[in-house]
Amino acid sequence: MTGWILKLIICPIVILLSDFMFSDLSYPSPYSVVLTGAILALANHFMEVAMLRPGTFWISNMMDFLTSVTIISVSSWMIPGARAALPGILLTAFLLTVTEYFQHLWLLRSDKTEKMA
């Protein structure tokens, strides 16, 4: 549960910062940033629950990167007025993956990874 709450806060913040920093990424409103961030947080959380174990650290990070690229790309098609070019998508996904890297380290070291029943 801790990982989910962290992701729900961090993902929209990273997307908002990317929206301001990169000219290749633009969302029309804060609502669209929060929506995209929440969808990313949900997807990354479920992947984390399913995959994150000792020994799958790098695979989990790579999957988070690919998921971020996919969701940001799709959001730019689905949200009217949103625009995302490949450099902006890749840079934002990279920033999200960096945050996931540290979250995964913390979750594994504190043994807070959630196991699927």
Instruction: Give the pLDDT score at 116.
Output: 43
Instruction: Give the pLDDT score at 113.
Output: 67
Q: What pTM, to 2 d.p., does this model score?
A: 0.87
The stretches in the chain having pLDDT less than 50 are: 116-117
The answer to whether 18 and 88 are in contact (CB under 8 A) is: yes
How does pLDDT run across 12-26, given as a tens digit for each residue?
999 999 999 999 999
Instruction: Give the pLDDT score at 117.
Output: 37
The answer to whether 29 and 3 are in contact (CB under 8 A) is: no
